[in-house]
Structures are given as C-alpha cells and as structure tokens.
Amino acid sequence: MKRLLTCVAILAIGCSGGSENEDPKDTHDTPGALDRIAYSDSEPGEDGIDDTGDSTEPETNGGDCVPTTSGRFRDNCDGSVTDTLTGNVWMRHLISTNASKEGQITCNSLVAGGFMGWRMPTIDQLRTLISGCDTTQTGGTCRVSDECFLGKDQSGTCFDASQCAPCANGDGPGVDGCYWDKVFGDDNCHLLLSKTPVVKGKEDPRSWYITFYNAQLDHIPNAFGQLTAGFARCILDPEAAVPVEPEE
C-alpha cells in the first residue's frame, strides 16, 4: 500500500513541456499474433464489456512462461496480452512517458508479440482495462469518450468530475490493488495517458488519463499537456501491425 500511496506524490503536474469486423472464433489453444487481434471467446454484455475479472523496451515474460488466461485476458508469453472479449492486444509492460505525443513516438518504435505497429490507446480503449470501479469502467457513469470533449471555456460538455470520481485507493482486483486484471502482474498502479485530446478542433496537447491505483479519469490541466511523471500501455493497431521475424 505504501507503494500505491507513493504514486499520488509523483503525479504533480509539470509546468513546461512540448506543444503541442469480423470476429472469428479461434479454435487454436494458443493463437498466433495476427489471430489475437480479432480473437474473442466470450460474448459482450449490454455495455460491450464483461466485468470479470517500467520498461521502455518490453520483453518476453520468460522461457518457462505458459500462456494463461485470467478472467478475459490472456498472457501470450511474448510481451503481449490479449483481451479475448474486445480483441485488443496490449503490451504487457508499461512505457514511461510524460506526454501523449512523446508516448506515441515510443510506442511506434517498439516490437512486442512479434509485431511492430504499436500506438497509444484512445480513452475508450484505455477504459476497457478498468476492472472493479463502476464510475469509470466501460459502461460506467463517466461520460468521457473518444467523441466527448471539453468546451472552449473548459466547461465539461460531457465531463463531470463527480461522474468520473475515483474508487478507493488500492482496492482493485489486480496485483497490489490495481484496477486492472491480475494478468498484468506487478506493474505499479500508475497514471496512464491516452491519445484522446481534451479539446476538439484546437491545437491542444492535453489528453485524458486514468490513474489505475484508484481508477480516476481526468485530464492534464496545464496548457503544455505534459506531466512530471506519467506512463502508457501501448496497444497494437491491427491496421498498422507488421510481423517481425525473431533474430536467430
């Protein structure tokens, strides 16, 4: 719990920075990476999500790793995790980034799960990782989405802090009480950035984020769109995924 509370202290906002389908069922026990992009072995609920259930160079999870499924998430033992409900393929480990633009560059440069083609997730995609918090998980009371933005006067056209309120610190189902699935292991419950901008149609580098130690959804408040300490979990873009042959 001390480690969780320490996360609160590091989330001070920086004051300088940059400007800125088809759904085939896979019959294999361990699908290939391309199959994982559209893999699903359960039906979504009414809201589309079933509520079950620091490294800049992510690596495989070890030679003795056996692909396992926790809830709806499967550890592929190759540095990636598949959400078997949505078909999203996530990088198992986090990257360190203080701004969305910086995070996008880092994700684009990485290879994991046998693929290049990783990118920053949208806020809708990031919310699918939340488990155990009714306000901000997909289908919760928080109305922020990929198509919902703050007004020009910074008033919330769809953002209401009370509707996006956090849950109790360290009370999620993940390791150390994180509000994500246990399959993600002992990655600390950090603030994870999305690539979804706060204001639409305006040159504004700020973006939405989620703090996974309490599942709070909020946005970077300063004009530079940069934090002093932030992280991201890259997601595989099925339209940009390029297979990479392992080095011999």
Q: Which residue has the tokens 């150390």?
A: 176
Q: Kindly give, in sequence order, each residue whose CB lies less than 8 Å from that of residue 52, ignoring residues fewer than 6 positions away.
A: 71, 72
Distance, in Å, from the CA atom of 184 to the CA atom of 153, rounded to the nearest integer, reads 38
Q: Which DSSP letter does residue 176 get? A: G
Distance, in Å, from the CA atom of 33 to the CA atom of 130, rounded to the nearest integer, reads 23
Please check whether residue 119 is in contact with residue 237, taking contact to mean a CB–CB distance below 8 angstroms.
yes
Handedness of CA 194, 198, 201, 205 (dihedral sign): negative
Q: Which residue has the tokens 């990476």?
A: 33
Rounded to two decimals, the pTM is 0.73
Distance, in Å, from the CA atom of 114 to the CA atom of 32, rounded to the nearest integer, reads 9
Distance, in Å, from the CA atom of 123 to the CA atom of 196, rounded to the nearest integer, reads 6
Tens digit of each residue's pLDDT, the chain (248 residues)? 434 333 333 333 333 333 333 333 333 333 444 443 333 333 333 333 333 333 333 344 555 677 877 789 999 999 999 999 999 999 999 999 988 989 999 999 999 999 999 999 999 999 999 999 999 999 999 999 988 766 554 555 788 888 899 999 999 999 999 999 999 988 889 999 999 988 776 666 788 999 999 999 988 876 666 677 789 999 999 999 999 987 76
Provide the pLDDT for residue 25: 34
Q: Kindly give, in sequence order, each residue whose CB lies less than 8 Å from that of residue 141, ignoring residues fewer than 6 positions away.
A: 134, 135, 163, 164
Please check whether residue 68 is in contact with residue 185, taking contact to mean a CB–CB distance below 8 angstroms.
no
**Taking the domains of the chain in order of start, what are their residue ranges?**
1-248
Q: How far is CA 23 from CA 65, 71, 124, in A?
A: 27, 19, 19
